[in-house]
Amino acid sequence: MAEKTKKQSYDASAIQVLEGLQAVRKRPGMYIGGTGVEGLHHLVWEVLDNAIDEAMAGFCTNIEIVIHPDNSLSVDDNGRGIPVDKQKQTGKSALETVLTVLHAGGKFGGGGYKVSGGLHGVGVSVVNALSTHLRAEVARDGKLYAQEFKDGGKPVGALKKVGPADYTGTKITFTPDPEVFETIEYNYKKILDRVRQQAYLTKGVKIRLTDERTGLPTGQAGKNYSFYFEGGIKSYVSHLNRNKELINPNVFYVEKTVGNTSVEVAIQYTSDYTENVQTFANNIHTADGGTHLTGFRGAITRSINDYAKKSGIIKEAKDNLSGDDVREGLAAVVSVKLPDPQFEGQTKAKLGNPEVQNQVGSVMAEYFSYYLDENPNDAKKIITKCLLSARARMAARAARDTVIRKGALEGMTLPGKLADCSSKDASQSELYIVEGDSAGGSAKQGRDRTFQAILPLKGKILNVERARLDRMLAFEEIKALIIAMGAGIGETKDLSKMRYHRIVIMTDADVDGAHIRTLLLTFYYRYFPEIIDNGYLYIAQPPLYKIQKGAKKFYAYNDADKEEIMSELAKSSKKEKVKGKNQIGESEIDAGFVVTEVGGDDEMIEETPEEETEETGEKKIAGVSLQRYKGLGEMNPEQLWETTMDPENRVFLQVTAEDAEAANEVFSMLMGNEVEPRKRFIQTHAKNVKNLDV
């Protein structure tokens, strides 16, 4: 008889109690959302939010943030200073309590703050838990106090008086723990955008950001900015629309307190075809909206319809404008401040207070109606814009139905240009969008038909930034792309019907190829942002050069790669390993879009370099041939497969929209109707363009 497996004992000794800040270090994702770049910056937001809370309470007018050369960061404010007297429940100073005890703070009983962002009481204590070192300095009652912590929140001695102080405030300096975070290098632009946003939302506070680091890429180090806005969110809306054609030059703005809730709204319409509404609760960006957004949307739709009926523009109820109609081209900021906000999750992405919906709705309905009555010219322009949107919506529905009907009727007969794959598993299937029939031919012959589909595009697609859906769907290349993807578009869009979970943009490495890539990125960002959010969109990286010596082949993806490979081959002192460049690292595409390397292993080849010779100014190496690819069509199917499509060797750049607001701004500037912002951008960056291939 086989021996019975010994059962693992499960008794009281198996129950572990995590004390103090141990729970945070054990499960950091529960408190800051993750240990990647977003989690790292969440530490900054937690400390900054405490300073902003002091500003909202009326006690702080200056905040200074400094990124130090060792990647520590400090936030210094001139608020009241964290209390330093003994806290009865813990027997420690109040400062040590808030830095070492979860759910300890001045935001629970109502005595410390009427309105604040940090309501879970885990903010600065979590920062301490996830830092190798933290120093807190507090100035109050004419004295300067300091206390230090290390290794995840362990006090280094007790709170001490370190000198006199003729001011008040708190300064927190912390160094993130590299054993917790994937990176401890701060993104200056990410912090800058957050600081600008907070300055807009908190009228009368000056926030300064300084980066003291050196050795970073050009333009990322040594900068400092100060922000101060008297106009608050009214200035914020003007900032969002600074590169756009305005419908109503006068920004609508209202600020009113209903009950215990302060409601602040600013609105302006542009000629855009998309909506840009930013919502905040206690200065925290609620990316997923919530009850304040619901109240705002309902009120603006009712107000515009009521005015249109009263003016005789709309005769019958059946002609009422829909919510989508009134939101086309709308740029707005909705900010509420309330004593007890209910957020969904620790990251606070959505507001859940039911009473806020009516509070925002009543303020909006009353004061936006006054605005329309008092500004008849602006009101007429806004309603004309909404009516155009309604007509376009009906035309788009007809065009979309045609696209969907065509796709359904043809069944498996997809667009004639599409060379489909045999796999029906979307998670394993890839769609290559290829520039031109020549490259399309090579790609079709070189691909793995099992899981790779090829769709060649003829010429440049329509710039969808300047076109509504109805006009876009009349463009054959876009229609073919939508049918090929299989997910529909607009109101009937359903990503569960996507036929491919990897969509690869594969264009030439020249100006036209870059333009086509930008047009496609605009199309996906505006009409299929979910594809980007789900990580389905990629950019292929075909090599620029093929370098060959005998049977050995190397592919270089840029001039720096080429020079490195040629330099290695030119060495004659001894045999060396030469790295065939199959990766190009991390780079950026138009602010807001981040591309990261996916796949691709380095190829290590042993080679004996040859002597160099000079011919017509071009450095040559005996026995080494150098071929420059001007386009994908110049590669034969085998080369295209080997360098760009073979999962074993290829390099893809995955497209993500980390900062939707910045991405929206860039697309509006580069692809919109306004010429001057685009002209300024070109003039500013022209000097940075090298080796322009025209």
| DSSP-assigned letters across all residues of 48-77 | HHHHHHHHHTT---EEEEEE-TTS-EEEEE
666 sits in which H/E element: helix 660-671
The residue to which tokens 């604040």 are assigned: 116
Catalytic site residue from 137, 325, 508, 607:
508
Catalytic site residue from 512, 597, 610, 612:
512
Q: Is 333 left (phi over 0), alpha (psi -120 to 50) or beta?
A: beta
Of 257, 237, 236, nearest to 247 by C-alpha is: 237
* Residue 663 near residue 657 (C-beta atoms within 8 A): yes
Question: Could you tell me which residues come within 8 angstroms of residue 532 by beta carbon, excluding any fewer than 6 positions away?
Answer: 524, 525, 655, 656, 657
Annotated active-site residue 435? The verdict is: yes
Tokens for 556, please give them.
Answer: 């270089």
Catalytic site residue from 193, 437, 510, 568:
510
* Residue 45 near residue 75 (C-beta atoms within 8 A): no
Question: Could you tell me which residues come within 8 angstroms of residue 251 by beta carbon, excluding any fewer than 6 positions away?
Answer: 234, 237, 238, 266, 267, 268
Furthest CA-CA distance within the chain: 94
Of 455, 313, 479, nearest to 405 by C-alpha is: 479
* Residue 523 near residue 605 (C-beta atoms within 8 A): no
Of 128, 210, 205, 215, nearest to 173 by C-alpha is: 128
Supply the DSSP symbol for 329.
T
142-159 burial by CB neighbour count: b if 16+ within 10 A, else e?
eebbbbbbeebbebeeeb
* Residue 392 near residue 421 (C-beta atoms within 8 A): no
Q: Whole-angstrom distance between the N-terminal and C-terminal Cα of the chain?
A: 81
Cα–Cα distance, 603 to 557 (Å, whole number):
14
Residue 670 neighbours by CB distance under 10 Å = 17
Of 556, 566, 568, 478, nearest to 523 by C-alpha is: 478
Tokens for 371, please give them.
Answer: 């605005």
Cα–Cα distance, 387 to 197 (Å, whole number):
33
Chain mean position to CA 68? 25
What are the distances in angstroms from CA 260 to CA 114, 115, 464, 680? Answer: 9, 10, 44, 45
Cα–Cα distance, 457 to 479 (Å, whole number):
11
Cα–Cα distance, 31 to 105 (Å, whole number):
16
Antiparallel, parallel or unpaired: β 330-337 and 276-281: parallel
What is the phi/psi pair of residue 52, to 5°? -65, -35
The SS3 of residue 594 is strand
Strand partners, 589: 593
Annotated active-site residue 193? The verdict is: no
Annotated active-site residue 508? The verdict is: yes
- CA atoms in the 13 A half-sphere facing the CB of 543: 28
Chain mean position to CA 686? 26
Catalytic site residue from 76, 211, 378, 435:
435
Which residues does the annotation mark as catalytic? 435, 508, 510, 512
